[in-house]
Each structure stands twice: as C-alpha cells, then as structure tokens.
Amino acid sequence: MALPKIPDYALPTQLPAPRAPFRLDPSRAALLVHDMQSYFCRPYGEDGLTRPESPLAQAVPNIARLLEAARVAGVPVFYTAQKGNQFRPDRGLQADIWGPGMQAIPEHEEIIGPLAPAPDDITLVKHRYSAFQRSNLETLMRARGRDQLIVTGIYAHIGCLCTATEAFQRDVEPFFVADALADFGPDQHAMAVNWVAATCGVPLLTSDTLTTLSGA
C-alpha cells in the first residue's frame, strides 16, 4: 500500500493534439501546484531533486518558472497539501489503497523548498484525488474571475488527472503542463497526457505556457 519507488524517465516533449479548442488566457487562468509535499516527493529518491535523470528534477524547475511568471502576470496561484495523521474514517477508501498516509510532521507535510508558496498564494487542504473535492477551489477561482486552470505537480495520472477532469466537469478549462508534472513512470505519465488531450483539456509544454504568461 506504500508509494512505489519511482524510476528515472524523461518527461514528454511531444504532445498529442487536443480535442478541445481552449486557448490559455492569463486574464482567465489560475495556476495549481498539486501535492508537491516532501512525503510525495520521497519516492523519487533522496537525490530526486538533483539527479538529472529524475522526473522530479526535470519538473520542479519548470514549475518554479511557471510560478514566477504567474506571479508577475497577476495569475492567482493555488497549492494543494494534505494534512498528516488523518482520521481513518475521514481518509476513507484512500486508506485501503495507500495506507494511513503521511504523518503530521514537517518532514512529510511541507511543500518542497524550491516551490515554497509566496505570501499571496493560497494553499488548500487536500482530501481526495481531485483538488476540487471538499475544497473551495472553484469558489476562490470564480471570485477572481478565473475559469481556466493550469495543472502542475504530482502525480500526473492520479490527482492531477482527476483535478483536470473535474475542472472540465465544472466548466473550468484545464491546461495540463506535461513537463511540469511527474508520475510513477513514463507509461502512466503518457496515459494522463493523452487522456486529457482526448477528453477534457489541452496539454502544453512549459515553454509555450511561459510565452503566453509573459505576454500578459
């Protein structure tokens, strides 16, 4: 039930064509940094942030660049972060698949240093795979006039994919930044990107996303 040890792999550079016609607009967008807590980053290894072949080491600098560009452009930034020592009935079926989860200690709960939230960023308590479940993410976005969500973080085929899917079902346009995501392996990562492209959103690369945000 524990998280697996995650192998090295190269992040996607070629993206599938999206079915959706959505176009990223900085005046409509919010940026989500999904579950970049120390506990979830541990499966990439103790040197996962520095080993060049690690998907984490590849994704984190891209997320950091997106954060910087979003803040400059006035794009709202949201983070998700779970709490440790979750009450078993409250954790629900996740405990059957992943066990008890993280402990309520900084070594598990903290968002990793290179991606630390800024004072104006908003951190949401995470309860289920989707960032929208049992949170006020949609309300906070609507209050800021935002109906597009740029999804980054881990893991691409679990929480990130579920968040993109639920965004679409709430009439929020999802943008899935393929090289600002990391996953259990290349197959899961590709599946998530392909699924978004085929059903609910637009995969992007960091370079193209930065160009759009800088144009704001």
Asked whether the beta carbons of 180 and 63 are under 8 A apart, the reply is: yes
In sequence order, the 6+-apart residues with CB closer than 8 A to the CB of 116 are none
Is position 120 annotated as part of the catalytic site? no
Asked whether the beta carbons of 41 and 49 are under 8 A apart, the reply is: yes
Sign of CA dihedral 39, 41, 91, 175: positive
DSSP secondary structure letter of residue 127: -
Residue type present at position 189: H
Marked catalytic residue, from 25, 35, 47, 147: 35
Q: Which residues are catalytic?
A: 35
